[in-house]
Chains A and B, each alone.
Chain A
């Protein structure tokens, strides 16, 4: 077609630009989508050590595969326009007349309809992908409304403070350690809270992110799927050493986990008895801890929680003995 219509040359009405653009777009989109889905997709974002991490990867890939043709459509069109529809001479050319200069009602309606359908489709997809994996690894606050089907959930408390994370295992005597070790193929409830400012617990390869707010118990769920090491970073600006607030966690087999947990519980017992009793939240400056208590040595994976049920936080009845130390790790 370019031989028919030199730039700005022959009457524009004879030009059929979409004869070139549409095939080009289809080929590029198909190639791009396929390459992405099979080559890059499985690694972006990297890490699939839990159901939610894999879900996030799948969602990202689906969105990318939908988005790429949209981007390419605009680029192909703009590229074609830049090459073909340029003024031939310097200076302001005569205005473009004729049908090309008129508004096209059908095009407008089609554009609006298409974008609306795509957007609503994305919304439905996103909502399903949010609710089915129980919040998709995002923090759901103290009373989660989407909870995992599994009845055996291991609760782990993540305590953020300037500038480190520590972890309490309420079902292992409420021990507090700075090592995050989790069993494989287990649904875990991360209870994220903070002792000072807002942090965010970002366990990257297991796809969990939950803000740590002082005085708030923010719960996020993930079911581990794969052994290995994952990165934990703080992703909410929390002061000058925010950049150094990272650590690593480990997914180990169930038996190894139990071995580790029991031995660590024993090792830490002298420390643990000096800690305030386990609570969902801690108030460092006031009367100690508030929240509900676990009885010691319950079944680690028991249904100690019924997420989403009635008030999860009985009011504190007894003042805790000591103020929470911020140096327990």
Chain B
């Protein structure tokens, strides 16, 4: 067989694999699905635990401590593998070893959401539900924290329970927020927005989702294992001395981290190579820009976290001394590795929010996106700079005092490209025709919240001020204002905005507005008082505080409960509008020019009848006679593509 690099002019049609078979005829409870995955997980855990006991139960430190971390870690790792095998994620990789291709059977109907499915839209929906599960789990834990902090002195939980709740809340939320937009909306919308029918690596994409779900079980297993006391930062000597719950943290981040790398990998390659003809870099929606930068950050920053977690696992099982000062390791090593990941992570959680508002503002102002190129450049700039700021988390740690001015500079420099996002937003509002639909309200709220979050970030970057505010509630408020006030608000705006696209049904706007106003008001009432609490010297993660701070803490606590209840409104709306009383949405309810709105709602599984040829960016609201954004049925694809790319792809 001569494998020539020949132009695929002829014979392309007939070499396809056989047409996909009809939907599985087997009953739904056979085959591989979440049920078998759970069985695999339990079996894997039992097997791993047994192997670990065989290997390590004789070790001195195991007998001394009565806790066999080897067995627990092996149990978790094999449990995750069992989960992946049970869902069917390993079928193809194993078949490949003997050279076989597997032709996936596309299932239809609701059961496909509980199976290993390669369609990017199904994966997007799976991510959406899972992200909400993560979010509500973390939210309940947050309310548990606020319950404890109602009183400065009397306690509801023991200190161990309390610190486990705090740590679990932080970790669950961080895992959730890293995938919150890229997972559901990135996977669902990016191919639609760039005019592609598919992802570059659908199996990698599906695999990333099932890693993410496995991570949920692993991190939740910390609670029955006794929790872990380190917060989401997992600082080292405490990490090394902690009990079995710590293994859940380390393995959990390893598993979720693997999913994050893979999700980022797939989406970056997709954006680079699967753009439709004419979808030049200069015409790409700003949301896709934000997802591109986020994907690069996910793929390149997360390996550092994975390695740091691996070292932690080795410290706890193989008794290495990476983080043990007395044996040649260094507790600073964890701090450095963790924050080298941790700071890009912060922008992983911020950038998609910027992308979402950039995408929605033109629609609701009927104006082109102001300073589009500056906005895109700002995102790239934020992404690049985010690798050079990590030691601002360590200003008081005692390392590298001479580097502090440098890290202060890089941190403050980031506010320049972040400011571009405000330039984009405010410029777009200028003399606009604003419509205060629910998604637009969330957009405006992002600008309100992120302004406070961003400005307080400048306070934190200033080393002398950081001496006062570091490690206190001021920091806590700051990052809740950026992540919750930014990302989570943008996410819910996006859910209201794109639900008609994804489901073909509209969410109830009145309930949406109630949800928005509750969330906005009580979010601010929860976290604004906490800035003051922080300035009056309440450190993070404490269960006792000064008596004179009780009023502020109680305002925050009560608001937190009401903030939590606003999500009940959302869930009610979601269930009511999609299942109980569905209302058919118009094809393009917001009057958007975006390419994703040019196809059916919900889109067919091939997205576009024909690969569209893109003619303009999606923000052409400038003139009443607007240019069509794309030629959806090009008569001569090759010629049209060449013409559309002529401007320079």
Contact assessment for B467 and A101 in the assembled complex, using a CB-CB cutoff below 8 Å: no
C-alpha spacing A214/B444, complex, angstroms: 47
Residue on B with the closest CB to A245? B542
The answer to whether B396 touches A81 (Cβ under 8 A) is: no
In the bound assembly, the distance between CA atoms of A126 and B466 in angstroms comes to: 10
Interface size class, chain A: 35 or more
Interface residues of A in 93-110 (CB under 8 A from B): 93-97, 100-104, 107-108
Compute how far the CA of A80 lies from the CA of B612 in the bound complex, rounded to whole angstroms: 40
Q: Does A137 contact B (CB under 8 A)?
A: yes
Q: Known interface pairs A59-B465, A96-B365. Does A200 touch B544 (Cβ–Cβ under 8 Å)?
A: no
Q: Does A250 contact B (CB under 8 A)?
A: no
- How far, in whole Å, are A130 and B395 apart by their CA atoms in the complex? 11
How many B residues touch the partner, as a band?
Answer: 35 or more
Chain B neighbourhood of A286, CB < 8 A? 326
Known A97-B623, A144-B401: A85·B433 in contact at CB below 8 Å: yes
The residue in chain A whose Cβ has the minimal distance to the Cβ of B435 is A87
In-complex Cβ contact of A141 among B325, B399, B536, B620 (8 A): B399
**B433 CB contacts on chain A under 8 angstroms:** 8, 85-88, 93-94, 96
A146 to B543, CA, bound (A): 36
A213 to B238, CA, bound (A): 11
Binds A, one of B121-129, B155-163, B344-352: B155-163
Beyond A94-B366, A108-B423, whether A45 also contacts B468 by CB under 8 A is yes
From residue 31 to 81 of chain B, which have CB atoms closer than 8 A to chain A?
Answer: none
Does A95 lie within 8 Å of B626, measured CB to CB? yes
Q: How far is the CA of A209 from the CA of B469 in the complex (A)?
A: 10
- Rounded to whole Å, the gap between the CB of A132 and the closest CB of chain B is 10
Decide if A15 touches B419 in the complex (CB within 8 Å).
no
- Please provide the chain B residues from 514 to 553 with a CB less than 8 Å away from any CB of chain A in the complex: 535-537, 539-546
**Chain A interface: which of B293-301, B455-463, B489-497, B554-562?**
B455-463
Beta-carbon contact of A237 and B231 below 8 Å:
yes
How far is it, in angstroms, between the C-alpha of A244 and the C-alpha of B544 when the chains are bound? 6
Report the stretch among B101-109, B135-143, B410-418 that lies at the interface.
B410-418
Question: Does B409 sit within 8 A of A, measured CB to CB?
Answer: yes
Task: Answer whether residue A267 sits at the interface, using C-beta atoms and an 8 A cutoff.
Answer: no
A286 to B325, CA, bound (A): 11
Looking across the interface, which residue of chain B has its beta carbon closest to that of A58?
B464
Q: Mark A126-149, 1 if CB is under 8 A from B, else 0.
A: 110111010111111110111000
Known: A96-B432, A133-B464. A216 touches B367 (CB 8 A): no
The residue from B332, B396, B448, B455 contacting A209, defined by CB atoms under 8 A apart: B396
Query: A96–B416 contact, CB under 8 A?
Result: no
* Cross-chain contact B537 with A100 (CB below 8 angstroms): no
Is residue B191 contacting chain A, with contact meaning CB distance below 8 A? no
Instruction: State the CA gap A126–B400 with chains docked (Å).
Output: 17
Q: Name the distance in Å between A101's Cβ and chain B's nearest Cβ.
A: 4
Docked complex: B322-376 residues within 8 A CB-CB of A: 325-326, 331-332, 365-368, 370-372, 374
Q: List 6 A-B contacts (CB under 8 A).
A: A56-B464, A100-B430, A138-B463, A138-B466, A214-B331, A237-B540
